[in-house]
Amino acid sequence: MTHRIITISREFGSGGRTIGKEVAAKLGIPCYDHELIEKIAEESGFAAEYIKERGEYSSHRGWLASAFSDRDFNGHSTQDDLWFAQRKVILELAEKESCVIVGQCADYILKDSANCLNVFIHSDLDKRAERIVKQYGESDVTPEKRLKDKDKRRAAYYQFYTDHKWGAIQNYHITLNSGVLGIEKCVEIIAGLY
pLDDT by residue (tens digit) across 103-127? Answer: 999 999 999 887 999 999 999 999 9
Write the DSSP symbol of residue 170.
G
Instruction: Return d(Cα 77, Cα 20) in angstroms, integer.
Output: 31
CA angle 11, 14, 17 (to 5 degrees): 90
DSSP 8-class letter at 47: -
Q: What is the CATH number of the domain that holds 121?
A: 3.40.50.300
Cite the beta strand spans of the chain per DSSP E.
Answer: 5-10, 31-32, 99-102, 116-122, 174-177
Predicted structure pTM score: 0.86
Residue 157, SS3? Answer: helix
Size (the chain), residues: 194
What is the structure's pLDDT at 166? 95
**For residues 48 and 97, which has the higher predicted lDDT (pLDDT)?**
97
Domains identified in the chain, total number: 1
CB 56 within 8 A of CB 154: yes
pLDDT band at 63 (very low <50, low <70, confident <90, very high): very low
- Pairwise CA distance, residues 31 & 29, whole Å: 7
What is the residue range of 85's domain? 5-193
**90 with 36: CB under 8 angstroms?**
yes
pLDDT value at position 79? 82
